[in-house]
Chains A and B, each alone.
Chain A
Amino acid sequence: MAIECLVLGAGQEIGKSCAVVTINGKRIMFDCGMHMGYDDHRRYPDFSLISKSRDFDNSLSCIIITHFHLDHVGALPFFTEVCGYSGPIYMTYPTKALSPLMLEDYRKVMVDRRGEEEQFTSDHIAECMKKVIAVDLKQTVQVDKDLQIRAYYAGHVLGAAMFYAKVGDTAMVYTGDYNMTPDRHLGAAQIDRLQLDLLITESTYATTIRDSKYAREREFLKAVHKCVAGGGKVLIPTFALGRAQELCILLDDYWERMNLRVPIYFSAGLTIQANMYYKMLISWTSQKVKETYATHNAFDFKNVRNFDRSLIDAPGPCVLFATPGMISGGFSLEVFKRWAPSEMNLVTLPGYCVAGTIGHKLMSGKPTKIDVDKNTQIDVRCQIHQLSFSPHTDAKGIMDLVKFLSPQHVILVHGEKPKMATLKDRIQSELGIQCYDPANNKSVHIPSTQYVKAGASDAFIQSCLNPNFKFLKSGSEENCDSGSESTKALSPLQISDERVAEGILVVEKSKRAKIVHQDELLLMLGEKEHKVQFAYCCPVSIEKLEKATTKDLTPETNALVLHKCSLIQILSTRLSSELSEGNIQDLGEHLQVESFQLSICLKDNCPYRKIGNLQYKSKAVFFCCTWSVADEKLAWKIISIMENFDQT
């Protein structure tokens, strides 16, 4: 069996996250987002690829939403209410609470401000949310008989989760967006070490390695402080949820410490409402906030006030949080138009802006004039501070997570194409894990683990109950040379558990697979044990033997009449002087070293004799040697001593 992953969105791009994964026949849609950069059909994932007949209820087992950002949840009401999906949808409690806020806000912006035809109505949103089943962190949910899912904390924004899904023996994790370092209000992603076939991870910052966030915080505070001290206005365009709260905690703290009186404003009711949710969902925030929550709720901002539209042109410094984050429209654009022409003011930009938004234009070099639409052009004279506060993990974080989870395969989504390719190469070369970065509407097939159920024999179970470990010495003989190459020689002692090794898997035709203990096997098959024995007929130069004889034995003895035993004896003495290991036994007729046996070969045509050794024929005595596999190394050592008899 295999996993098939169809990427409907966020393939080699950022926006409209949507991946449909088929595991062992179950189909799960992870995230259902919309692309903020487009106004046409490209805004939504191409759902027709899931099912030509548009019968989504039968082709999908469930939808899982990781967090409330529009590029992860934006297309959901459209899919359920317009396309007609009515199956289960899973998301965490905070996501369920905050998603309708986001969707409603977006709908209003689209319809009220841009006068577009609405894609879905408020009722659609409400209806859609009724189908949502909320889950808790680390709660295992049995979607149906075979499919179970579990949420893990992902940092990123309030309620963001990574999802683990398992069908049968195949398991995978979809990360959604996540953050591996904690920030002012959220913790770092946290997951168990799982056995995974597939990890689908975001890769927003596939090549960036960020330095410590403390320095960035300091710079941000410095820039804001400088601006308000000079009487300027600070515009902080943010998403209503998430970064706004983080920056607000930071500023509120700083204001407190520095005793500043400059007002901080929140633009819309949305943020105020969101703050209320934050206050309630303390258990989803960072350790710091949780610890201090009993004495002071970090989301009770002391210096923050509501903003009134009339205050846009009011004199004096202020700080304003406005949505949306990338100045793509809405209130932040309105304020930007008014404030951008003054040098005193400051606009901070989020770490990432989708191409096509004003935020993106500001980021790519400082323009002096910006065309908002066909008729409007703004002079941009204000200062621009780029906030690289991002709730996304950086490249190192992705690598750390992949390394920690060590899945069989990795699929990268939610990133820019060239950077993803770089990261893909890194994962493959450094971690040795197969990695893919499919484009939109492409699918990836990967093999998955498959377990076979097998019966076990009683004897095997019995032997498994008792621990049975062995110590192995390996590789200490080769690679004894010094230097870095001798890595193998450094790990000489290894432990292995013999319990499983003693089992033998027997698969017979049309029968269930069975594991038996190794001792049972022969009995079961009614066979006898076979052993492999090696043999070699080894020539030894007689001349040399003679010399040795005349030296070692009585001088008058002729070599030709030498008794077999004395030849063996000479060999024996020689071997014992040259061979460090093994116990050499002289048994008269033959010589034995461990399983190695040696005797004089009197046959003229010994089958084990090498024909190439003709030059020896006249002067050589042949010794027939046999040994078993275990002593192969030893045997060849002895034979080389014998063959080189005349060279020393």
Chain B
Amino acid sequence: MEQEILHKCEQTLSLSKPLSLQTLASVRSLIINPNTSNSTLSLILETLTCSLQLSLPDSITRHHTLKLLTDLSFHQPHLSPFIFDSLRSDDSLLSADSLAALASISDHNPNLALHIDDHFFVSLCFAPCVSVRLWLLRNAERFGVRSHLLFTVFLGFTKDPYPYVRRAALDGLLGLCKSGVLEDLDVIKACYCRAVELLRDMEDCVRLAAVRVVSGWGQMLVAYNQEMRGTNFSDAVFTQLSSMARDMSMEVRVEAFYALGKVAVVSEDILLQTLSKKVLGIFKDKKTHGQCVADCFEISASGAAGAFVHGLEDEFYEVRKSACSSLGLLSVLSEKFAGEALNFLVDMLNDDSVTVRLQALETMLLMANCEHLKVQEIHMHMFLGTLVDKNALVRSAARKILRSVKVPNVDFFKLFVDGLLENLKIYPQDEADIFSVLFYIGRNHGSFAVCIIREVSQEMEPDSDGKLGFDGARVAAFLVLAISAPLSSEQNVCSIQPRIFSYAVTLLGRISCALSDVMDQHSLLAYFSQCSRLSSFSDSDYKGEDSSLHEVNSYSINGTSTEISVQEIGDEVSKTWSWIQCNLKDVATSQARCQLEEEDEISNSMNIVLAKVKNIWPLVQSGYTKEVLESLRACKEEVLTFSTKSLGSDGALAFTLQYIQVVKLLVKVWEHFAPMKKFHYYEVGELELLLGKLDSRLADIRCRFIGLSKEEELHVLELVLVSCLLRLSKVEICCYLTTLKKLSSTISHVEFLHQQGSIEQSKFVTEVKNSLLEIGTSTFDASYKPFLFNQLLESFFLNQLLLSGRLRHIKAELDVPDNSTENPVTFVSGLPVAIPLEIALHNISSENRLWLRITMSEESTQFIFLDLNLIEGYSEFLKFTYIAPFYKTPKAVSFSLRVCIGMECLFEDVHFVKVHGGPKRMLAYLCHEKEVYLSMASKG
């Protein structure tokens, strides 16, 4: 049979006639038959190739022959390179048909890259056949055609009379924008303008593609024009896109709203206009041009008018959802806009689609995270409704917002708590999450929580039979609220009655389970015992009661039951946190003990080192700087010899290292102030540099460690005070007012901590406080006395720092895979370049605001916000790949960037807006700067 068919083929071919379709069909049967021998197959290959050369005029035979060759390569992958080469080899044979065959072969075998001649590509595109044109445009990027040529072809074909060709051309342009290879401003403008024209196309699919192109190239235009009138362009792009919100096609509307969210800079007026269907006053004065299509750079307020109102009212939930999500992204840009948007957003909580409700809540969370969520009374009804929503996801999303919301007054706070209790009543399965939320909002609004607890304290007391209604979820919820209050950062928080903490101990398992993300069971227990005991001494009413002497039975740690007893410890008020921590070792189960022990071992060793550090202070004061520095170096080396086995203890190590570094800097600075033993020459500005370093190290230590005890925090804060004083006492460097502000805010923080922990104030702190009061009352001129601050410094003494708690270190790792000077990332100057980054984050929580800093030179720094909400999964350790765009690529053959991850220091109240769109607060950097090498993409 095989032979017969082959023979027939040869015969036909020898007559230089094309193979008949029938013969081809039988050849096909041979190809798909798995038993056909290899020799036959190669003969078939030969025959088909032969026939291909003959069958040029007959396109049907040719088409089928090519199809057979493709089939052959699928069934016999080892033959595919031969087939590919034979098809590829003869340029005269190359046609759209064979190109399609080649493409499908190379789809299956990625090693075979398909490149065709630019000229050939163009000639095919310009041929009359529309389907070929369409196919070529869609696949244009795989042929390795020069991008400039591609751009010209794409741009030209946006004029094609066939809508699908226009769409393919627009899609191609979008692809080019993403690959980022074009640099000429005129080119960008031309492409953008053409896309704007096509926003008015007759065909839905073309308009859809045009929206994407306007968004993509518009962003490029804005990036390119950042120096000059950047906002103008950005506003123009924004209004163009928002005019599409009223398109008749649902897909176009969805795309338009997503595109709106991507616009990075928009002026507030335009944003507000999108929430009002009426054209706002400020735009009315401006001249409106005649035709709306006249100019693609015109900012037309009427186009933007009410875009979001329409979007949120849309018939299709897809549109409503995308409008909601864009609202969130844009509300970051303006607080006023966020406020207005919220009025519309709350109505979306009543939407019948769960997706939309969830998206609306997510948007509100985004607003809350950037502190643009201002809750008003009219919103409350809708919002509280979501807490008892039928859908569990919606409820959980609503609670998530509560965690970060700022409540303006106690009435709202009550409403929220009531809402949560209602939620708890109807859906008991949410208990853990509700407790956690109660804890958060209590901590954020300490005084409000105290108010509530006062009102309901009766409910929490044992009834007449002496039975406690602790098992009731409601009481448990109040207990959680109560225990959260003292942790509040607010001042003037009246203390909670200590009995309540002892009640809370009975629910330790339940509470600690809910609060697992905040603190572990041990610290929680320690906290309870401390509060229930310590406060009792400050409050004489309860002194006699043995409330702190509670036998607490049968609560479980890690599933096993243990009996503990908290014993009364005289009136050693000063012994606090650390002591309890030590004692806890005894009560912990063996499993937990193991880990604790290791941690403690590290802590202890660190404490030994820290003691050494403390000992150097007298030396510093007497001016033995050099010696001191040497011993500090020794300390550092000692710390470095510890290697940590468990994850939990590396925090302590890192903390100690950082601390030593701080002390080292402090010593170096001190040298400038101390009465000099020897006469030194210092470079101008050296002191300022050192102080700057000291400040940033201190900021690091304050915000990069989670779980600092009050003592530790106080210690660090004292050092901050010292650094402020040092600044203030040098006339030439201090920025008087800023530093003074920082000093007073630090002092009040210190004071607050003292009250909280009932820790005695050091002499130093008291003195600083007193003199600050003095300064505060006098006027600026009179008060500026550097010597005063200098005097204060004398009272400072470096105490020993005692590490106690389990510290967790916030850090990040940053890597650029496969990047070196030999293997740089390619870029095209003037266009954004994508830098792939591998990022690993340790101990980051969703509250942290992370920024990516990309530095090219001293002047050119770019910040990118790392939105953790976009990254799947939350844990102590997070690893992901992030593609960072860098916009201002220079006109250079190669250059390097330094990339670093920073975290906003939340304690820093001084807002400094350095870069537009950058972080608002000081950044603490979480990793070393990583250098990225880039080089210009070679043309051709």
Q: Please tell me if the beta carbons of B315 and A286 are within 8 angstroms of each other in the complex.
A: yes
Contacts of A471 in B (CB 8 A): 152, 155-156, 190
Contacts of A209 in B (CB 8 A): 277-278
Contacts of B160 in A (CB 8 A): 467
Contacts of A193 in B (CB 8 A): 200-202, 248
Q: How many residues of A contact B (CB 8 A)?
A: 48
Q: How many residues of B contact A (CB 8 A)?
A: 50
Contacts of B316 in A (CB 8 A): 287
Docked CA distance A630–B603 (Å): 86
Q: Please tell me if the beta carbons of A430 and B313 are within 8 angstroms of each other in the complex.
A: no
Contacts of B313 in A (CB 8 A): 181-182, 212-214
Contacts of B247 in A (CB 8 A): 404
* B344 on interface, CB distance cutoff 8 Å: yes
Which B residues from 141 to 177 make CB contacts under 8 A with A? Answer: 152, 155-161
Q: Is the interface of B mostly helix, strand, loop or mixed?
A: loop
Q: Please tell me if the beta carbons of A214 and B189 are within 8 angstroms of each other in the complex.
A: no
* B246 on interface, CB distance cutoff 8 Å: yes
CB-nearest residue of chain B to A211: B277
**Given A214-B347, A466-B127, also A431-B292 (CB < 8 A):** yes
Q: Please tell me if the beta carbons of B288 and A467 are within 8 angstroms of each other in the complex.
A: no
Docked CA distance A210–B277 (Å): 8
Q: Please tell me if the beta carbons of B126 and A466 are within 8 angstroms of each other in the complex.
A: yes
Q: Please tell me if the beta carbons of A493 and B190 are within 8 angstroms of each other in the complex.
A: yes
Contacts of B310 in A (CB 8 A): 181
Q: Please tell me if the beta carbons of B158 and A292 are within 8 angstroms of each other in the complex.
A: no
Which B residues from 286 to 337 make CB contacts under 8 A with A? Answer: 288, 290-292, 295-298, 302, 305-306, 309-310, 312-317
Q: Please tell me if the beta carbons of A496 and B277 are within 8 angstroms of each other in the complex.
A: no
CB-nearest residue of chain B to A406: B200
**Given A466-B126, A491-B296, also A187-B315 (CB < 8 A):** yes
* A400 on interface, CB distance cutoff 8 Å: yes
* A128 on interface, CB distance cutoff 8 Å: no
Contact with B along A428-445 (1 / 0, CB 8 A): 011110000000000000
Contacts of B668 in A (CB 8 A): none
**Given A404-B246, A432-B291, A465-B128, also A495-B312 (CB < 8 A):** no
Docked CA distance A180–B313 (Å): 10
Q: Please tell me if the beta carbons of A188 and B277 are within 8 angstroms of each other in the complex.
A: no
Docked CA distance A259–B202 (Å): 49
* B794 on interface, CB distance cutoff 8 Å: no
Docked CA distance A203–B312 (Å): 24
**Given A400-B246, A469-B156, also A182-B314 (CB < 8 A):** yes
Contacts of A343 in B (CB 8 A): none
Q: Please tell me if the beta carbons of A212 and B344 are within 8 angstroms of each other in the complex.
A: yes
* A487 on interface, CB distance cutoff 8 Å: yes
* B186 on interface, CB distance cutoff 8 Å: yes
* A490 on interface, CB distance cutoff 8 Å: yes
Partner of B288, one of A292, A394, A430, A466: A430
* A497 on interface, CB distance cutoff 8 Å: yes
Contacts of B189 in A (CB 8 A): 490-493
* B798 on interface, CB distance cutoff 8 Å: no
CB-nearest residue of chain A to B344: A212
* A191 on interface, CB distance cutoff 8 Å: yes
Contacts of B277 in A (CB 8 A): 209-211, 394, 396
Cβ of A638 to closest chain B Cβ, rounded Å = 27
CB-nearest residue of chain B to A404: B248
Contacts of B298 in A (CB 8 A): 487
Docked CA distance A286–B315 (Å): 7
* B352 on interface, CB distance cutoff 8 Å: yes
* A53 on interface, CB distance cutoff 8 Å: no
Docked CA distance A218–B346 (Å): 12
Contacts of A61 in B (CB 8 A): none
Q: Please tell me if the beta carbons of B186 and A191 are within 8 angstroms of each other in the complex.
A: no
Docked CA distance A193–B128 (Å): 28
* B432 on interface, CB distance cutoff 8 Å: no
Q: Please tell me if the beta carbons of A212 and B315 are within 8 angstroms of each other in the complex.
A: no
Contacts of A305 in B (CB 8 A): none
Docked CA distance A191–B316 (Å): 16
Q: Please tell me if the beta carbons of A467 and B157 are within 8 angstroms of each other in the complex.
A: yes
Contact with A along B344-355 (1 / 0, CB 8 A): 100100101000
Contacts of A212 in B (CB 8 A): 309, 312-313, 344, 347
* B187 on interface, CB distance cutoff 8 Å: yes
* A192 on interface, CB distance cutoff 8 Å: yes
Q: Please tell me if the beta carbons of B193 and A188 are within 8 angstroms of each other in the complex.
A: no
* B125 on interface, CB distance cutoff 8 Å: yes
* A54 on interface, CB distance cutoff 8 Å: no
Q: Please tell me if the beta carbons of B315 and A182 are within 8 angstroms of each other in the complex.
A: yes
Contacts of A181 in B (CB 8 A): 310, 313
Which A residues from 391 to 428 make CB contacts under 8 A with B? Answer: 394, 396, 399-400, 403-404, 406
Q: Please tell me if the beta carbons of B186 and A493 are within 8 angstroms of each other in the complex.
A: yes
Contact with A along B185-221 (1 / 0, CB 8 A): 0110110011000001110000000000000000000
Partner of A430, one of B278, B302, B344: B302
Partner of B315, one of A188, A215, A406: A188
Docked CA distance A394–B126 (Å): 48
* B533 on interface, CB distance cutoff 8 Å: no
**A-B contact list, 13 entries, CB within 8 Å:** A209-B278, A287-B317, A396-B305, A403-B246, A404-B248, A430-B292, A431-B291, A466-B128, A467-B126, A467-B156, A469-B159, A491-B295, A496-B159
Q: Which 3 A-B pairs rank lowest in CB-CB distance, beginning with the nearest?
A: A493-B190, A465-B128, A182-B315
Question: A209-B277, A288-B352 are known contacts; what are 7 more A-B pairs with Cβ within 8 Å?
Answer: A182-B313, A188-B315, A192-B202, A193-B201, A432-B290, A465-B128, A469-B159
